[in-house]
Amino acid sequence: MSSKEKKSVTILTESQLSSRAFKDEAYEFYKELRKSQPLYPLSLGALGKGWLISRYDDAIHLLKNEKLKKNYENVFTAKEKRPALLKNEETLTKHMLNSDPPDHNRLRTLVQKAFTHRMILQLEDKIQHIADSLLDKVQPNKFMNLVDDYAFPLPIIVISEMLGIPLEDRQKFRVWSQAIIDFSDAPERLQENDHLLGEFVEYLESLVRKKRREPAGDLISALIQAESEGTQLSTEELYSMIMLLIVAGHETTVNLITNMTYALMCHHDQLEKLRQQPDLMNSAIEEALRFHSPVELTTIRWTAEPFILHGQEIKRKDVIIISLASANRDEKIFPNADIFDIERKNNRHIAFGHGNHFCLGAQLARLEAKIAMSTLLRRCPNIQLKGEKKQMKWKGNFLMRALEELPISF
C-alpha cells in the first residue's frame, strides 16, 4: 500500500494483511500505527471483527490477558459457534496453540520434556552433521537458493527425526504447512487448502497406525502412548499435536535462518563484524529475530470479556491480532529500532511470543540457527546476494515473514 492508500484505509482485511504489497511496506505502516492508531480495525471475513495491535507494551499486556482466549469454544455458546471453514478443521485444531488453561497446561506437559535444555543440547552434533551435509551438496556449485537448499531442509530433518517421521516425506510437509498457515477465505483457496489438509489427515492416520504396530523411542510413539491411556490425549488432540509439531517445528526456523542471512547481506558492515567476531553470533540471532521477526502476526485470540483499550471498547467475540513484527520495532522500547545492530543491548524482543504460549521450541530454533549460520559463514566466507535486493520477494502470507527464495553465491 502507498502512503496515500494507507491514509484512506479505515478497515484492513485479511487479504490485505496477507498480500505481498503489505509485506513490502509493513514496517512503515506499523510505524504510523504506533504513532496514531495503535488499535487498528480489521475485517476478518467469517471470523468477524478484529483489531490489530502494534505497540510493544500493548502486546506484552494482551499476550498475558486472561480475557483473551485461544479456544473459541471458551467464548462462543453452542448456538454462536461458527461453522467450520474447512472439512478437516476439527481434526487439526485441537492442539496447545488453540487451547487455554487447564487444557493448554496438560497438552504442553506431554511434549515439553522433549524440548528441555538437556534434550536440545544432545541434538547439537546431529544438527552440525546435517548442516555440513547440506553444504557439501551445494558448495561445488558456489551457488544455492538458501531457502530450498539449506534453511528449509535443516529444521525439517531435525523435527522429522525427533518425531520419527520418514525424511522422504518432508517435501509434502512443506506443501501441507503452507495450507495450514494460509488464512485466506477466498473460495478457490479454501477448496484447495481443504483438499491438501485432507491429504495431511490421511497421512497422519496412516502414520499413527504404523506407530501403533511398531512403536519406537520417538515423540509420536510417546504421544500415542498418552492417547492410549485415555485421560491425557484424545485422538483429535493426537493428530492436532503431531501436525503442530511438524509445522511449528520448522516454519519459524526456516524464516529465522533465511531472514537473518538476508539482513546480513543487506548490512555488509554487520556481516563483516560477525565474520571478525564470531562470538557475537548469539547476539546477532536475537537481533535477527527482532529485526525481521519470523512470525509477523500472532494467531487469533478471541475476546471473552469486554474491556477498554486506548479509549475503545473491545467487545466480546472480537478478534485480537498482535503484530510481533511491529512490537519488535517499537521506538519506545528499542533505540534506533529500524537499524540492524548485532551488538544491540537489552534486546527484549518478543519474536517467540510471551506468556503461556511462549514458543516451546525457541531454544531448538536458536540452536539450529546458531549452527546453521556459523557453519555457513565458516565454510562460505564470501557469501553475497545473487541479484539485487529489490528482486527479493516476501511471500504473501498472513502469519509469517518469509522470503520466497534467497539466491546467494559464495
pLDDT at 88: 67
Q: Is the pLDDT of residue 34 over 50?
A: yes
Question: Rounded mean pLDDT of 390-405?
Answer: 93
Q: Is 245 exposed, middle or buried (0-12, 13-18, 19+ CB in 10 A)?
A: buried
What does the DSSP 8-state code read for residue 145?
Answer: E
Residue-wise pLDDT for 289-348, tens only, equals 999 999 999 999 999 999 999 999 999 999 999 999 999 999 999 999 999 999 999 999
Q: Is the pTM of the predicted complex or chain greater than 0.95?
A: no
**Residue 218: is it exposed, middle or buried by C-beta count within 10 angstroms (0-12/13-18/19+)?**
middle
d(CA 272, CA 383): 11
The pairs formed by 165-171 with CB atoms below 8 angstroms and a separation of 24 or more are 165/207, 165/220, 165/246, 169/203
For the chain, give every domain's residue range: 3-409
Q: What pLDDT is recorded for position 7?
A: 46
- What pLDDT score was predicted for residue 255? 97
Residue with cell 500415542: 224
Is residue 367 within 8 Å of residue 257, measured between CB atoms? no
Q: What is the pLDDT of residues 111-135, one digit of tens each?
A: 988 899 999 999 999 999 999 999 9
Confidence of residue 231 (pLDDT cuts 50, 70, 90): low
Candidate from 9-13, 27-31, 145-149, 278-282 with smallest mean pLDDT: 9-13
Query: How far is it, in rounded angstroms, from Cα 314 to Cα 42?
Result: 12
CATH number of 3-409: 1.10.630.10
pLDDT, tens digit (0-9, with 9 covering 90-100), for 46-105:
888 999 999 999 999 999 999 999 999 999 988 887 655 556 667 778 899 999 999 999
Per-residue pLDDT, 228: 63
CB atoms within 10 A of CB 113: 11
Q: What phi, psi does 190 have (nearest 5°)?
A: -60, -45
